Homo-oligomer: A and B are copies of this chain.
């Protein structure tokens, strides 16, 4: 059952984003475009920015956002040790209320390690 958690997440995300785009006005479309733009390589590497997005999502406790950034972190070559330290910062800043998200984050990360589990383009 390789990459099942992330696979299901990506499928739903894609399907629902299509629904959003049926309704989206100019502002919403601009927001989506801005949301892609801020993670692009710049003075800070894309890799660092994905870690920032991950920890921000983690302390704000959004499982879907966490999964999205976990996929991107893996694509950027973040190691399990780096991930653990980044989430460790999030855990201390955000407190025990983030623990259920920590659990699901490591579950999804494990899921991501399954060979062939994630396709290109999230």
Residues of A within 8 A of B (CB): 13, 16-17, 19-20, 22-28, 30-31, 34-35, 37-39, 42-44, 48-49, 51-53, 55-62, 64-65, 79-100, 102-104, 106-107, 109-110
Contacts and interface: CB of A to CB of B under 8 A. Distances in A.
Interface residue SS majority, chain A: helix
A34 B106 contact: no
Given A35-B99, A65-B97, A91-B95, 12 more contacts: A23-B83, A25-B85, A38-B91, A44-B51, A55-B56, A56-B89, A57-B93, A57-B97, A59-B59, A59-B95, A60-B60, A93-B97
B110 A19 contact: yes
A62 B107 CA distance: 18
